[in-house]
């Protein structure tokens, strides 16, 4: 066991002492795993006084002094097998054990451990009967008849389980240094709290009632009653025989016949009285036996109630373990929900930033829409101007076509004339042909310019329709 594991056990020593009241299953488990030796188990069982505190202190000393590195894990496994899940969770946590030291002070004083023994108080009635028995035995010795004595065992009186917190602190300091055994510290009985409530007070009352019942109606009391009855009957017999002998002697000396009849009457009278006394004693004995049987039935009922209380205690411990498991699972779920909340908060912040960006984009789009609307209005006006210009160009185009037709006819005429004069070397013809070619080039340029202008006007008209369509679709607006 390393220093960290020892520190976990010593820091939670009060927590362990409160909850480990019955160590036998855990000791058997550790003994089967060779964590504890049989000699150590015997020393734990034979500790004096045999209180749960002393046994726990001896066990913790052996556990902390164990050189086996797997001692702590074996101890944790034994606790899990005995369903002490809250203790396992407490020991597995790092840096815990501060709150467990104050939990002993919060526990009510009437709490009863399951392994405590019931004391047998010696009442004044028992003392008086023992004194009468000794005096009668000293005055009239007689030969007692063999009696069948009932063997009843009563648990040995042990000191109180609850001790003062100062003694607990002394025990804790003793446990922290396991190799050196120390002398036991004197303990003081803690007074019960007058305002204690709950099942623990009921258990305390039950134990007191059982102790009184054991003290008053044990086998020793029954044997004392039977011994006293036999002794008194023997004494009465001896007295009667002495009286009879004296009377017989007097009758023999004086009047044997007369006194014999009187003696017979007295003898019969004494005999009847003795029989009556014997019958009364037998009736009293039967009454005492019936009373003992009744007390035995009450004892069995109290024993059944005590077993029921033990079962209730085990169920409460199981419920506490289940509560610890639910709390641990809820803590895990809570931590997971906290992490999810942090992630969602980050996503919310990102979404807020995105919303702000989209709002700014929306404002920019609105501004662009206004600008586009202005441009559309301008383009509509330009379109109207272009339509007017187009009509004018159409008229010019028609005029130019007419002019081109006339010029083409003139060209045909010139070509025919040129064909006629093809074989002539007249200089004037060459000059005229050159002029004609220049003029044809100019006409071709004019026609080409008109054709280009017509194409541009058509594209501009189609473009005006496209601009109108773009104004109707906001998805095609330009982004700044």
| The pLDDT of residue 218 | 61
Q: pLDDT higher for 205 or 374?
A: 374
83: left (phi over 0), alpha (psi -120 to 50) or beta: left
Alpha-carbon span 357 to 132, nearest angstrom: 108
> Please, are residues 87 and 16 in contact by the beta-carbon 8 Å criterion?
yes
More confident residue, 75 or 422: 75
Identify the CA nearest to 49 among candidates 58, 36, 37. 58
Say if CB 475 and CB 369 are below 8 A apart.
no
What is the mean pLDDT of the segment spanning 331-354? 90
- Percentage of the chain beyond pLDDT 90 is 8
Q: Tell me: pLDDT of 98 over 60.
A: no
| Tokens matching residue 364 | 């920019």
Determine which of 33-42, 85-94, 369-378, 429-438 has the lowest per-residue pLDDT on average: 429-438
Q: What would the two tokens of residue 314 be? A: 């085990």
Residues 75-85 have a mean pLDDT of 87
At 294, the pLDDT band (50, 70, 90 cuts) reads: very high
Q: What is the pLDDT of residue 301?
A: 92
The pLDDT score that the predictor gives to residue 304 is 92
The answer, yes or no, to whether residue 428 has pLDDT greater than 90, is: no
| 475 pLDDT tier (thresholds 50, 70, 90) | very low
CB-based contact 31:41 (threshold 8 Å): yes
Round to whole Å and give the CA distance between 251 and 77.
93
Burial 51-60 (b: 16+ CB within 10 A, else e): bbbbbbbbbb
Structure tokens at 278: 């014997």
Residues 6+ away with beta carbon under 8 Å from 41: 27, 31
pLDDT at 254: 72
- Cα 324 to Cα 115: distance, rounded to the nearest angstrom: 25
Q: Nearest CA to 270 among 249, 248, 239?
A: 239
Mean pLDDT (whole number) for 289-302: 91
Range name among 258-267, 385-394, 425-434 with the lowest pLDDT average: 425-434
- Average pLDDT rounded to a whole number, residues 457-461: 53
Q: Residue 302 — very low, low, confident or very high, per pLDDT cuts 50/70/90? A: very high
Question: Which has the minimum average pLDDT: 7-16, 73-82, 137-146, 235-244?
Answer: 137-146
What is the arithmetic mean of pLDDT over 396-404?
83
Looking at residue 436, what is its pLDDT?
78
Give the integer Cα–Cα distance in Å for 124 and 57.
38
Which range has the top average pLDDT, 138-152, 177-191, 212-226, 258-272?
A: 258-272
* Residue 223 pLDDT level (bands cut at 50, 70, 90): low
Tell me: the pLDDT tens digits for 165-183? Answer: 333 444 433 433 344 333 3
Nearest CA to 178 out of 31, 66, 33 is that of 66
pLDDT for 185 beyond 60: no
Query: What's the mean pLDDT when you consider all of the chain?
Result: 72
Q: Are the CB atoms for 328 and 89 separated by under 8 Å?
A: yes
Does domain 1-114+168-195 bear CATH number 3.40.50.300?
Answer: no
**Distance from C-alpha of 160 to C-alpha of 162, rounded to nearest angstrom:** 5
- What whole-number distance in Å separates Cα of residue 54 and Cα of residue 456? 114
- Cα–Cα distance for residue pair 406/411, rounded to 1 Å: 9
Predicted confidence band of residue 186 (pLDDT cuts 50, 70, 90): very low
Average the pLDDT over 375-402 and give the result. Answer: 86
- Tell me the mean pLDDT in the region 107-121: 37
Query: Can you give the pLDDT at residue 219?
Result: 60
Burial of 41 (0-12, 13-18, 19+ CB in 10 A): middle
CA contacts within 13 A on the Cβ side of 294: 6
Contact assessment for residue 65 and residue 43, using Cβ atoms and an 8 Å cutoff: no
**For the chain, which residues make up each domain, given as ranges?**
1-114+168-195, 367-476
Q: CA 77, CA 88: separation in Å to the nearest integer?
A: 9
Report phi then psi at 51, rounded to 5: -90, 155
User: Token digits for 137?
Assistant: 């035995």
Sequence-ordered strand ranges (E) for 201-352? none
Distance CA 178, CA 361 (A): 76
Looking at per-residue pLDDT, the higher value among 219 and 16 belongs to: 16
Q: What is the predicted pLDDT for the residue at 243?
A: 83
Q: Identify the DSSP state of 218.
A: S
**What is the share, in percent, of the chain residues with pLDDT greater than 70?**
66
């Amino acid at each position: 066991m390393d220093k960290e594991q020892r520190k976990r056990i010593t820091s939670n020593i009060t927590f362990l002492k409160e909850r480990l009241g019955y160590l036998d299953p855990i000791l058997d488990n550790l003994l089967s795993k060779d964590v504890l030796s049989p000699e150590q188990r015997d020393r734990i069982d034979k500790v004096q006084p045999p209180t749960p505190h002393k046994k726990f202190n001896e066990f913790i000393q052996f556990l902390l002094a164990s050189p086996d590195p797997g001692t702590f894990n074996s101890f944790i496994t034994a606790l899990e097998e005995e369903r002490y899940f809250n203790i396992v969770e407490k020991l597995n946590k790092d840096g815990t054990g501060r709150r467990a030291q104050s939990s002993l002070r919060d526990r009510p004083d009437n709490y009863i451990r399951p392994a405590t023994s019931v004391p047998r108080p010696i009442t004044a009635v028992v003392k008086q009967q023992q004194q009468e028995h000794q005096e009668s035995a000293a005055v009239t010795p007689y030969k007692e008849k063999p009696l069948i004595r009932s063997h009843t065992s009563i648990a040995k009186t042990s000191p109180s389980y609850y001790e003062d917190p100062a003694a607990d602190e002394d025990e804790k300091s003793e446990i922290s240094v396991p190799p050196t055994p120390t002398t036991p510290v004197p303990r003081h009985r803690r007074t019960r709290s007058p305002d204690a409530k709950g099942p623990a007070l009921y258990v305390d009352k039950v134990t007191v009632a059982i102790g009184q019942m054991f003290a008053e109606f044990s086998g020793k009391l029954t044997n004392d009653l039977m011994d006293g009855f036999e002794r008194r009957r023997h004494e009465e017999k001896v007295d009667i025989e002495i009286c009879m002998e004296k009377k017989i002697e007097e009758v023999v000396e004086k009047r044997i016949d007369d006194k014999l009849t009187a003696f017979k009457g007295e003898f019969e009278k004494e005999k009847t009285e003795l029989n009556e006394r014997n019958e009364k004693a037998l009736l009293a004995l039967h009454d005492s036996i019936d009373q003992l049987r009744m007390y035995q039935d009450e004892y069995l009922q109290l024993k059944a109630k005590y077993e029921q209380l033990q079962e209730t205690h085990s169920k409460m411990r199981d419920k506490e373990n289940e509560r610890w498991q639910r709390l641990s699972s809820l803590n895990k779920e809570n931590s997971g929900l906290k992490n999810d909340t942090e992630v969602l908060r980050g996503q919310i912040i990102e979404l807020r930033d995105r919303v702000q960006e989209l709002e700014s984009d929306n404002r920019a789009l609105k501004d662009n829409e206004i600008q586009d609307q202005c441009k559309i209005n301008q383009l509509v006006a330009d379109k109207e101007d272009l339509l007017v210009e187009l009509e004018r160009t159409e008229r010019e185009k028609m005029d130019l076509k007419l002019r081109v037709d006339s010029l083409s006819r003139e060209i045909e005429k010139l070509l025919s004339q040129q064909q006629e004069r093809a074989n002539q070397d007249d200089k004037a013809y060459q000059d005229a042909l050159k002029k004609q070619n220049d003029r044809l080039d100019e006409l071709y340029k004019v026609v080409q310019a008109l054709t280009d202008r017509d194409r541009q006007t058509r594209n501009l008209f189609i473009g005006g329709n496209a601009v109108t369509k773009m104004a109707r679709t906001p998805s095609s607006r330009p982004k700044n």
